[in-house]
Amino acid sequence: MKSGRASRPPEPNEPLCCCEYVNRHGERSHLAACCCDCEDLDQACDRWLKREPQKADSLARVAAVVKDRLRVPWFLGAKQVDLSVVPPLILLPVLLQVASLHFLLGVAVLTALPGLVLWYYYVTHRRKGRTLFFLSLALFSLAYMYYVFLTEVLPRGDVGMVQLAVVTTGVMLTLLSLANTKRGPGYVRSHPADAHSTVTYHGKLPERDFVHSNGTCQQVLIASRPSPPGQGGGQGNSVRKNWCPVCGIVRPPRSGHCRICSACIYRLDHHCVWINSCVGQANHRSFLLTLFLFLSTSLYGISLVLRSVCPRQNVLFALFYCPGVYSQYSTALCFTCAWYSSLVTVGLLHLLVLQLINISYNVTEREARLALREKLGTSRLRGLVVDTGVYSRGFCSNWAEFLTMDVTPEPVSFSLPDLV
């Protein structure tokens, strides 16, 4: 039923209480009025009851209303909750508990779960949209595994206080490192001193920005007109490779534009859905540290769980043969969680190995993909090892550059004679 307006325009300089918010129409509203004045929902229900066809945008408008009103109380105003956060909170514990009921159910669930995650990744990747689903799944998986460890494994008496302290410390350090990674990848900002002219390009701008030659960096310039053939044409090509038409800025060497974040990133490596952010020059080292801490904690926790539920089996073979583990629900749940953690660990271990290889050759994941696509450089082990031969200066020098690179890169500015 329709009711009177439950919102009003926000008063200037009037702070919001914890349950108030400004809705998508710019009006002040309250959480208690979430079911009031739902005109879009009323119209959709009326048409459904009267068996009339829905309008083309009716479902989208209802979804927008639900998304706008789904909030939680917070300081200085209620915060909006992203709907993509909710599915992992419900599905993960339900699926793992169902998989603990029987061996065949466990095989079915643990086989279908990675497939569903990969399918959702494929859908969101094609749409180039941001989602909190993967970050929510990663954080809740870590929290739920730790909860099962405390409630099911620890009471069995096979884990000592020192081992519990090690696992707890690993979880806390992983979260702290993740928070540091989320501080930002290093966005390329426009510099006030830069005066860019409007340039019309009559061809497709290439995405490659290899402007280093023999270890020396070439100057990146902006040109207002193309150079005549044979007269400085290389400089114009360098300009076109480094100009971002979306952000309207000149990208420094090795920087790239992320279509998901809609921003240019210093030394862009890749966009990681598991942290819902890009990995760039400012957070690459902390991202690598997060992977290492998570994998170390996960492997140690899995070994403790298997020693507890399968004491007569070797840890390396307990995942594949543990007789009697499904005789009790508690041991079956611990065993299922160990298998789930192992699947996640294998996936992230592949990512860590790939990162270590790329750093050893001083190549980013973005540069490796471009090199494979354009058949540049050398590729081994079916694309696992890619050497572009552009930035690499040897194993030790590459790692020294990675470990000492600036996490707060300065914007690249140009002098007035270089700009037109």
> Is the pLDDT confidence value at 129 over 80?
no
Task: Give the span between the Cα atoms of 242 and 328, in whole angstroms.
Answer: 61
Task: Note whether residue 364 is domain-resident.
Answer: no
| Pair (331, 316) in one structural domain | yes
Beta strands in 104-215 (DSSP E): 212-213
- Same structural domain for residues 165 and 25? no
Lowest average pLDDT, out of 123-132, 209-218, 230-239, 356-365, goes to: 209-218
Please identify every residue annotated as catalytic.
272
| CA 255 – CA 373 distance, rounded (Å) | 18
Domain span at residue 342? 86-179+283-351
Using CA atoms, how far residue 315 sits from 211, 307, 310, 323, in Å, is 50, 7, 8, 14
Final residue belonging to a domain, choices 331, 351, 371: 351
160 and 35 fall within a common domain? no
- 68 strand-pairing partners: none
Is pLDDT larger for residue 341 or for residue 241?
341
Cβ neighbours around 37 below 10 Å, total = 18
State residue 214's pLDDT score: 42
Domain count, the chain: 2
77 pLDDT band (50/70/90 cuts)?
A: confident
* Host H or E run for residue 372: helix 365-373
Tokens for 158?
């096979």
Q: Which of 60, 81, 102 is the last residue of a domain?
A: 81
pLDDT tier for residue 166 given thresholds of 50, 70 and 90:
very high
Q: Which pLDDT band holds residue 80 (cuts at 50, 70, 90)?
A: confident
In a domain, 106, yes or no: yes
pLDDT for residue 230: 40
Averaged pLDDT for residues 41-56:
74
- For residue 42, pLDDT over 80 is answered with no
Same domain, 34 and 163: no
Split at pLDDT 50, 70, 90, the class of 385 is confident
Residues 91 and 145 occupy one common structural domain: yes
CA-closest candidate to residue 78, choices 37, 120, 34:
34
Chain centre to alpha carbon of residue 98 = 28
| Both structure tokens of 60 | 């989208």
Number of C-beta neighbours around residue 415 at 10 A:
8
Beta strands in 290-402 (DSSP E): 378-380, 385-387
Residue 308: the pLDDT is 92
**Whole-number CA gyration radius for the chain:** 27
Which of residues 351 and 229 earns the better pLDDT score?
Answer: 351
Residues 94 and 75 reside in one and the same domain: no
Residue with tokens 């050759």: 361
DSSP 3-state of 187:
strand
| Residue 204 belongs to a domain | no
- pLDDT score recorded for residue 122: 86
Percent of the chain with pLDDT over 70: 80
Q: Do 90 and 60 fall within a single domain?
A: no
264 has which bridge partners? 257
Does the residue 156 lie in any domain? yes
- Return left, alpha or beta for 188; rule: phi > 0 is left, psi -120 to 50 is alpha, else beta: beta
Q: Which of 52, 81, 110 is the last residue of a domain?
A: 81
Q: Can you read off the two tokens belonging to residue 148? A: 């099962």
Strand runs (DSSP E) across 86-241, as ranges? 212-213, 216-217
| Lowest-confidence region among 42-51, 166-175, 277-286, 330-339 | 42-51
Beta-strand relationship, 243-244 and 249-250? antiparallel
Q: How many CB atoms lie within 10 A of CB 158?
A: 14
Mean pLDDT across 34-54: 73
Q: Are 91 and 172 in the same domain?
A: yes
* Predicted pLDDT of residue 86: 85
